[in-house]
Amino acid sequence: MGNKAGKFALKPKDVTAAQAGTRFTKEEIEALYFHFVSLRDDGAAAPKGLGEVVNLTQFQRGLGFTGASSLFVERVFQVMFDVEGSGWIDFKKFVDGIHRLSSYESQENKIRMSYAVHNLSGAAGICREDLMRMLSACLHENDVAVPSKDVEALVERTFASFDADGDGFISPEEYRLMVEADKSVLAPLTMNVPELIAAAKADAVAAAAAAAAGSPAAASGRLSGSGRG
C-alpha cells in the first residue's frame, strides 16, 4: 500500500490517552494504531472534521468480510465500538472496543454486551425472531449449511430451557443463566488480542523497513483471532 513509516507515528500524549481505561502497554497501543491506520487505507474519504476514523465497511473488511456484510460483526461494531451510533470510530473507540473483546474484560461485561448484540429488536428481551436471525446469519457467514427447521428447533429448545416466565423473551437475567450453563456463548466476543498485536507489530516492522529501503509494504488489514461464530 505504499505506507510510510512516519504515517504510523503516535505522539506520547496520544498513546497515554488511548491507554486510559485499558490494560494495554505503550507498545501494544502503537501496534494497534498501525492496524487501525491499515484499516483506513482503502481510499475511502471520512467526513470532514472527524480526523482519523474507521467505518463499518472498513471494520468488516478487517475481519475478512470482503463481500457480503456480517450481521454479527455489524452488531459487535454497534454495541462494542460505535457506542454513540455515528457510523464512524476514532482510534480511542477502536482501542476501547478491542479491550472489550480481550480477555481483560470481565465476564459480567461480556454477558451484558453479548446480550445487547443478540437483542436485535431492542425490546425488553431477546425474542425468537432475534435469535433466529442471528443464528441463521452466523451459520451462513461461516459457510455452515443447516436446514431452517433445525435452526427453528434449536431456538425453541433454547426458549424452553431459559424463558423461565414463558413471556416469549429471554431477559437479561435469563440470558445470564444461559451463559452460565454454556460459557461457549461468549466465545465469539473473545478476541485473541495478543495474536492480533503480534501480527500488527510484525507488519509495522516490515513497513518501517520497506519505507527505509524506499519500497512499498503491505499491512495485513486483519483483525485475526476474533473467534467469531
Residue 199 vs residue 74, higher pLDDT: 74
Q: What is the pLDDT of residues 156-167, one digit of tens each?
A: 999 999 999 999
3-state secondary structure of 168: coil
The mean predicted confidence, pLDDT, of the chain is 83
Judge contact between 184 and 114, C-beta under 8 A.
no
Q: What is the pLDDT of residue 116?
A: 96
Long-range contacts, 15-19 (Cβ 8 Å, 24+): 17/92, 18/91, 18/92, 18/95, 19/95
pTM of the model: 0.80
Residue 150 has φ and ψ, to the nearest 5°, of -75, -35
pLDDT band at residue 221 under the 50/70/90 scheme: very low
Q: What is the pLDDT of residue 175?
A: 96
Q: What is the pLDDT of residue 195?
A: 84
Q: What is the pLDDT of residue 68?
A: 63
Average pLDDT over residues 168-190: 93
Q: What is the pLDDT of residue 165?
A: 96
Q: What is the pLDDT of residue 219?
A: 40
Average pLDDT over residues 125-154: 91
Q: What is the pLDDT of residue 228?
A: 38
Sole residue written with cell 431492542? 122
Domains and CATH numbers, the chain: 5-103+190-213 (1.10.238.10), 107-187 (1.10.238.10)
Q: What is the pLDDT of residues 6-24, one digit of tens each?
A: 456 789 999 999 999 999 9
Q: What is the pLDDT of residue 111?
A: 95
The DSSP bridge partners found for residue 127 are 169
3-state secondary structure of 228: coil
Q: What is the pLDDT of residue 226?
A: 43
Q: What is the pLDDT of residues 49-88, one digit of tens each?
A: 557 899 998 998 877 776 667 898 899 999 999 999 999 9
Q: Given its phi and psi angles, is residue 227 left (phi above 0), alpha (psi -120 to 50 degrees) or beta? A: left
Residue 141 vs residue 178, higher pLDDT: 178
Q: What is the pLDDT of residue 188?
A: 84
H helix runs in 66-190, sequence order: 71-76, 91-101, 107-118, 128-141, 148-162, 172-181
| CA 43/CA 189 separation, integer angstroms | 29
The segment with the largest mean pLDDT, out of 37-51, 117-131, 197-211, is: 117-131
Residue 44 has φ and ψ, to the nearest 5°, of -75, 130
Element (H, E) at 126: strand 126-127
Q: What is the pLDDT of residues 18-42, one digit of tens each?
A: 999 999 999 889 889 988 988 876 6
| CA 173/CA 5 separation, integer angstroms | 49
Chain-centre distance for alpha carbon 168 = 29
Name the grid cell of 148: 431452517
| CA 171/CA 158 separation, integer angstroms | 13
HSE of 7, CA atoms in CB hemisphere, 13 A: 21
Average pLDDT over residues 105-119: 94
Q: What percent of the chain has pLDDT over 90?
A: 48
| CA 228/CA 207 separation, integer angstroms | 28
